[in-house]
Amino acid sequence: MRRPDVNLLATDEMPAVGTDAAQALKLWVVLARAHAAITDRATADVARHGLTLAEFGILEALYHKGPMLLGEVQRRILVSSGGITYLVDRLVQRGLLERRLCAEDRRARYAALTEAGRALVERIFPEHAEMIRQALSGLSSTEQATAIGLLRTLGKSVG
């Protein structure tokens, strides 16, 4: 058992690769490792409440933004179109979410929290936020700000 996630490249001694490519590969490796480590912790945390990270992401988004079209939610949590249907189905079955018609576009559907869903988020979100804070506390506030800037730039330039 143990650990989901991405591949990892040998960090040293890579013949036939320029030094700039080697640096980029190393960045990709440490990024993937950090992501995997945090994902592990966050996954375990929300699993205590029977939720996937993706499911938690949906609940949290709806809590902070209010009802959203399925497509908006999909783009926000980064799943496929089939995936959002599947995830919302499950949350609806558990009584945490409901689908609502969209008056302006009859193809579209809103997802909205039920009372139970709202109550769940209010109960677990603060703990989860605290867990994340704790997990990332190896970086000072200044360092975190720097990292946010760099990763934001990176994310935009890759996409």
Q: List the structure tokens of 36.
A: 């995997």
Q: Is 54 in the site for its own copies (CB under 8 A)?
A: yes
Point out which span in 48-56, 89-97, 101-109, 110-118 binds its own copies (CB under 8 A).
48-56
Q: Is 41 in the site for its own copies (CB under 8 A)?
A: yes
Q: Is 69 in the site for DNA (CB under 7 A)?
A: yes
CB-based burial label for 58 (10 Å; 0-12, 13-18, 19+) = buried
Q: Is 22 in the site for DNA (CB under 7 A)?
A: no
Measured between alpha carbons, how far is residue 92 from residues 86, 87, 103, 111, 149 in Å?
10, 9, 21, 9, 37
109-126: string of b/e by CB count within 10 Å (b at 16+)?
bbbebeeebeebbeebee
Point out which span in 13-21, 107-115, 123-131, 134-142 binds DNA (CB under 7 A).
107-115
Q: Is 78 in the site for its own copies (CB under 8 A)?
A: yes
x/- track of binding to DNA for residues 119-148 (CB under 7 A) = ------------------------------
Q: Is 47 in the site for its own copies (CB under 8 A)?
A: no
* Site residue total, DNA (CB under 7 A): 32
Point out which span in 3-11, 89-97, 99-107, 108-116 binds its own copies (CB under 8 A).
3-11
Q: Is 153 in the site for its own copies (CB under 8 A)?
A: yes
Q: Is 135 in the site for its own copies (CB under 8 A)?
A: yes
Give contact residues for DNA (rule: CB under 7 A). Answer: 1-5, 52-55, 69-71, 74, 78-90, 99, 105-109
